Amino acid sequence: MNMKDLRREALQSWAKECLQQVTGVDVGDTELEMVSGDASFRRYFRMRLSADMLSSRVIPSVASSYILVDAPPEHEDCQRFVRVADTFRDAGLYAPVVHEADYDLGFMLLQDFGDTLYLPALLQAQSENDLPRASLLYQQAMRALLDLQQHCFGADLPRYDQILLHKEIGLFEQWFCTAFLELELTPSEHALIERTCDFLEEAALMQPHVCVHRDYHSRNLMVRDGIENQPPGVVDFQDAVTGPYTYDLVSLLRDCYIVWPDAQVQQWALQYLDQARIRGIIPDSLSEDDFLRDFDLMGLQRHLKVLGIFCRLHLRDGKAQYLQDLPRVIDYVLRVASSYTELIEFTEWFQQRLLPLAALKLPQLRSVKTVKEAAQ
């Protein structure tokens, strides 16, 4: 039996004891159902309570199912997870209640938001050309984001400072350029990447800073109870920081897993801008052009980082499924970077040096046009 199987058995035994204490229900030999493993070392399971079990409860308001988290303590910090969950709920977000946690074992018992992620709901809306439905989902997600930014002051959260920004964008060179594309960068190429990173880092640091979820997108937002006209359940928040106000917005609207037309993305982004001004999150003096520049450059920093993360997940962790999302992210990078004169040299280098190598490994990239081709 491997380590994962041993941890699953230990988690199941621990969960049965916890549920007895939390619900007053003897769950007997109820088995765990695998929910997902995410892009980290965490694994999620569900334990359901049968109708017979629920009928024997001695504590009111017992849920019919619970989520169990296996978060190996050598890799994951459950204490931080619990702290951030409490902070987010205090700000008015629907982060799951942590019923029990064993920090030494790395086990947690959470409230269950169900199985409906934002992503399939958005993909269905997109396939059916149902823009009102998509807009409703995004409006609910942006309202929750605005609540977070207005009511969470992040005093206990790490700062998204220049050191962290530089470390993260460095994943682009390390894992995408060198490890995935197997490119031997010249000194001048190193210097070009460094100048680009410095430019994006400076732009990020000049933005107003707020509480940042740091992975606020369609795979981390839940449609609670199948009802779309309500705030989403928010998960995978344990890496929250205080940082640039556009970071979560661009993560949501320029999602690595679904793409919308630029005009529609801009319309949604400007809806956020109006509300952010009203709520005092950003100053009234911030112009629309400056806001869109903040949005673009923050998104570019994030997408360069994500290129490195997706390649690391494939090469180091054996999660090849993330390769299918690389062409989408590369397209974001090229379209945004080509709009800024400060990034012309980087854009041309990316197209001429990186894109052909990436296309050899990713057949889907053959449909990605260079900026010059798109203009023709």
At 226 the pLDDT is 87
Q: Are residues 240 and 321 in the same domain?
A: yes
Residue 76 and residue 166 in one domain: no
Does residue 60 share a domain with residue 181?
Answer: no
**Residues 196, 80 share a domain:** no
Classify burial at 148, counting beta carbons within 10 Å of its beta carbon; exposed 0-12, middle 13-18, buried 19 or more: buried
Domain C-terminal end among 58, 76, 111: 111
> What pLDDT was estimated at residue 35?
86
Residues 281 and 119: their CA atoms lie apart, in Å, by 27
Give the separation between CA 23 and CA 46, rounded to whole angstroms. 15
Cα distance between residue 366 and residue 376, in whole Å: 17
63 within 8 A of 111, measured Cβ to Cβ: yes
User: What are 57's two structure tokens?
Assistant: 């409860």
Q: 237 and 334 share a domain? A: yes
Q: Same structural domain for residues 334 and 271?
A: yes
95 and 123 part of one domain: no
In this prediction, residue 371 carries a pLDDT of 45
- Pull the structure tokens for residue 231: 């705030």
Residue 168: per-residue pLDDT: 96
Q: What is the CATH number of the domain that holds 68?
A: 3.30.200.20
Residue 240: predicted pLDDT: 96
Say whether both 253 and 334 belong to one domain.
Answer: yes
Q: Which domain does 261 fall in, by range?
A: 118-375
**Per-residue tokens: 157:** 């959260």
- 310 with 254, same domain? yes
Distant-in-sequence, close-in-space partners of 67: CB < 8 Å, separation ≥ 6: 35, 44, 45, 46, 96, 109, 110, 111, 112, 113
Asked if residue 126 and residue 93 are part of one domain, the reply reads: no
Supply the pLDDT for residue 166.
95
pLDDT value, residue 375? 41
What H or E segment, with its residue span, contains residue 110? Answer: strand 107-111
**CATH number for the domain including 371?**
3.90.1200.10
Do 28 and 153 belong to one domain? no
Written as one string, the DSSP assignment of 163-194 is HHHHHHHHHIIIIIIIIIS-----HHHHHHHH
Q: Please state, in angstroms and rounded to a whole number, the distance separating the CA atoms of residues 68 and 33.
A: 10
Q: What is the mean pLDDT of the chain?
A: 91
CB 68 within 8 A of CB 46: yes
pLDDT for res 321 = 92
* Total domains in the fold of the chain: 2
Structure tokens that stand for 19 in this block: 């549920």
Last residue in a domain, options 58, 86, 111: 111
- Which residues, in sequence order, are CB contacts of 208 under 8 Å at separation 6+? 244, 245, 281, 282, 283
Q: How far is CA 77 from the centre of its chain?
A: 17
Task: Tell me which residues of the chain have a pLDDT lower than 70.
Answer: 1, 37-40, 51-61, 366-376
Q: 80 and 134: one domain?
A: no
Q: Which of 59, 78, 111 is the last residue of a domain?
A: 111
